[in-house]
Amino acid sequence: MINPNEALNLIQGLIVPKSVQKIAIQDALGLILAEDLRADRDFPPYNRAMMDGIAIKNTALKKWPIEDIAFAGEPQKQLGHSNAAIEIMTGAPVPIDCSSIIKIEDIEFFELAGEKWAEYVGKDLLNPGQFVHAQASDCKQNDLILSSGTKIGPVEIAIAATIGKTQLSVFKKPGIAIFSTGDEIVAIHEKPAAHQIRSSNSAMLEAVLKSHGFSPTVAHIKDEKSVVEQSLESALEKHDILLLSGGVSAGKKDFIPEVLEELGFKALFHKIAQKPGKPLYVGNRADGKLVFAFPGNPISTLTCFWIYFLPWVMGSHLILSKISVANLPSSNPNLDQWLPVKIKGVQAETLKNNGSGDLIHWKFADGLVWQKAGSTEQLLPFFPLRP
């Protein structure tokens, strides 16, 4: 039996199955880019005025006659006389032969002999090139601007748009099949007999995965070896990862580990020295398919899914901050414990509960703290449960 640290390290070594798909850029936020993006033109594509004001060539003068006016959206203009100016608006191409922009706040306009003139009234010396966002100063045409593997955030969406990409190649989320197992389990809409329980695990797993951009399928498997075999085999044809709840412990009808072995899976580990979730099984196959089989008790499934599966499949790491924990029970000498806590101010308080089958008391939990086997620490790693 391995400990949670070893299990987390082994899982981090697994490769999340990936394939590539093309999607509209508006749907790409948060996904991973699967192509290199190059500039389709210089950026900026022309010398762009950064201020409203006047465009000039001769920065040694203080007064310039106005020849013309250049608006954004108009083709580039040309200065007629080298001592003259052209009025200009932000975003307009700087006219041919103009080197600098003077902003409107530093100018006073006046009339002289029926002509419009601008006079410089600013305090600073004029800098040749000022307020001109020079062509190709951000990047040149064909420069590599985003590499495959980049996580797509708002800036990346805007960059893709500015180079004319309506669609992006991104790594597709792995296909996940969720299975609940157990003869005692019925669907949510069914009325359970006295000896039956509704499947809460399936809905929980599906909801969390959907909120993270996955499109899992959900089905149930009876505790019958041939049915387990058939169901898993056909799911593996269409999916990259199987998430199973139940059937992975030492019960007489817990067929999952042996069926997985028959289907060619190797256990990365089966059983972790932890509570809840000791029987957790994680396995992989030569073709890259993966199985995470969670013990069926709702809190075991939730804890194992939240700690071991979700950070890994999202390509991140388990990030834990430390928190001081009040009324901490003494640690278990052999098993690490994931304890439900409520946050009160800057402290966490452990919650009373009736073990891993007790969903109801977990409604108060803000997260889990990780108490290592034999530890006397009060300051424990905290992992939030609320999204």
Q: With binding defined as CB under 6 A, does residue 200 bind ligand AMP?
A: yes
Q: Least CB distance from residue 33 to ligand AMP, whole Å?
A: 36
Kindly tell me which residue out of 169, 231, 297, 371 binds ligand AMP, with binding defined by CB under 6 A: 297
Binding-site size, Mg ion (CB under 5 A) = 3
- Indicate the burial class of 53 (C-beta count within 10 angstroms; 0-12, 13-18, 19 or more): buried
Give the residue with the Cβ less far from Mg ion, 95 or 247: 247
Integer-rounded Cα Rg, in Å, for the chain is: 32
Q: With binding defined as CB under 6 A, does residue 371 bind ligand AMP?
A: no
Q: Is the CB of residue 89 less than 8 Å from the CB of residue 111?
A: no
Q: Least CB distance from residue 360 to ligand AMP, whole Å?
A: 13
Q: With binding defined as CB under 6 A, does residue 375 bind ligand AMP?
A: no
Give the residue with the Cβ less far from ligand AMP, 43 or 281: 281
Q: With binding defined as CB under 6 A, does residue 277 bind ligand AMP?
A: no
Q: Which stretch binds Mg ion (CB under 5 A): 70-78, 99-107, 177-185, 274-282?
A: 177-185
Give the residue with the Cβ less far from Mg ion, 6 or 184: 184
The residue behind tokens 């250049």 is 70
Residue 200 interacting entry, from ligand AMP, Mg ion, none, C-beta within 5 to 8 Å by type: ligand AMP
Q: With binding defined as CB under 6 A, does residue 202 bind ligand AMP?
A: yes
Sheet arrangement for strand 107-112: 100-103, 53-56, 85-88, 63-70, 115-120, 107-112
Q: With binding defined as CB under 6 A, does residue 249 bind ligand AMP?
A: yes
- 326 backbone φψ class: left, alpha, beta (φ>0; ψ -120 to 50): beta
Supply angle C-alpha 210, 216, 220, rounded to 5.
125
CA distance linking residue 353 with residue 358, whole number of Å: 7
Output the CA torsion 81→83→84→89 (10° steps).
110
- Residues facing residue 130 across a β-bridge: none
Q: Least CB distance from residue 225 to Mg ion, whole Å?
A: 13
Residue 197 interacting entry, from ligand AMP, Mg ion, none, C-beta within 5 to 8 Å by type: ligand AMP
Q: With binding defined as CB under 6 A, does residue 199 bind ligand AMP?
A: yes
Interaction pattern, residues 325-364, with ligand AMP; x per rule: CB under 6 A: --------------------------------x-------
CA distance linking residue 272 with residue 338, whole number of Å: 12
The answer for residues whose C-beta is within 8 angstroms of residue 123's C-beta and 6 or more apart is none
Site for Mg ion in 89-148 (CB under 5 A): none
The secondary structure of residue 93, as a DSSP letter, is B
Kindly tell me which residue out of 53, 93, 174, 182 binds Mg ion, with binding defined by CB under 5 A: 182
Q: Least CB distance from residue 133 to ligand AMP, whole Å?
A: 59
Residue nearest to ligand AMP as judged by C-beta position: 296
Supply angle C-alpha 223, 360, 368, rounded to 5.
95
Give the residue with the Cβ less far from ligand AMP, 192 or 374: 192
Output the CA torsion 150→156→162→163 (10° steps).
10
Give the residue with the Cβ less far from ligand AMP, 299 or 348: 299
Q: With binding defined as CB under 6 A, does residue 197 bind ligand AMP?
A: yes
The answer for residues whose C-beta is within 8 angstroms of residue 373's C-beta and 6 or more apart is 3, 273, 331, 332, 333, 334, 335, 336
CA distance linking residue 283 with residue 209, whole number of Å: 20
The secondary structure of residue 300, as a DSSP letter, is H
Q: Least CB distance from residue 253 to ligand AMP, whole Å?
A: 8
Q: With binding defined as CB under 5 A, does residue 246 bind Mg ion?
A: yes
Q: Which stretch binds ligand AMP (CB under 6 A): 38-46, 68-76, 151-159, 239-247?
A: 239-247
Residues of the shown chain interacting with Mg ion in the complex, contacts defined by CB under 5 A = 182, 246-247
Residues of the shown chain interacting with ligand AMP in the complex, contacts defined by CB under 6 A = 180, 182, 184-185, 197, 199-202, 245-247, 249, 251, 295-298, 357
